[in-house]
Structure 1
């Protein structure tokens, strides 16, 4: 049996700290197969890596969205706040604020 990460992407993604034994139990009850600890570990790592890649892609898309809003809505206020743990660490999204020019005028 080939254990695919897609089967448990929603479960592991929703519970990234799920124990490997719990993953094994769910696979066993849902698919009626026994999965070794190494396969569970690999599947969990694959799902977590995929989630991180998706977050990075969506974060990049957010900057594109900000640029597009600024281009199409002149006079609007658009702010995006980021957090950094250290100056070398990657940015983490904090908040996004938009006030369109039309709303400012009333």
Structure 2
């Protein structure tokens, strides 16, 4: 028996590359690639699982950027490190916009 998690794992790279893939397309690919007929509801759950997984990955990577900036500041004094984030509303999570690094050695020439 094929589970939703198995289908999500099988199509992980495809859905990451095409996050706006239609549910009917997921359904069609399940039939052609896995030889399994799934419902639209199952396709919806597969897509939902992948969106949640991608959101977790983005949060983890965003946290790593902050840690990287902190390490650069503490280990390379005089360097300029700027990270710009944007919030849609005051209560929303920050969205990464840009990252700037200029090492002190480059400033001195």
The equivalent of 2:77 in structure 1 is: 74
In structure 1, runs of 5+ residues without a counterpart are none
In structure 2, runs of 5+ residues without a counterpart are none
The answer as to 2:38 corresponding to 1:26 is no
The answer as to 2:88 corresponding to 1:93 is no
How far residue 27 of structure 1 moved from its aligned partner, in angstroms, is 1.1
TM-score (normalizing by structure 2): 0.92
**Aligned Cα root-mean-square deviation (Å):** 1.0
Instruction: Tell me the matched-pair count.
Output: 106
The equivalent of 1:61 in structure 2 is: 64
TM-score (normalizing by structure 1): 0.94
- Looking at structure 2, the residues matched to 26 and 71 of structure 1 have their Cα atoms a distance apart, in angstroms, of 50
- Looking at structure 2, the residues matched to 7 and 88 of structure 1 have their Cα atoms a distance apart, in angstroms, of 35
The answer as to 2:7 corresponding to 1:2 is no
- Aligned counterpart in structure 1 of residue 86 of structure 2, from 71, 83, 86: 83
- Looking at structure 1, the residues matched to 40 and 97 of structure 2 have their Cα atoms a distance apart, in angstroms, of 36
SS of residue matched to 1:26: helix
SS of residue matched to 1:88: coil
SS of residue matched to 2:57: helix
- Looking at structure 1, the residues matched to 27 and 37 of structure 2 have their Cα atoms a distance apart, in angstroms, of 7
- Looking at structure 2, the residues matched to 43 and 97 of structure 1 have their Cα atoms a distance apart, in angstroms, of 37
The equivalent of 1:38 in structure 2 is: 41
Deviation digits for residues 79-98 of structure 1 (CA, Å, limit 9, x no counterpart): 00111112222111000000
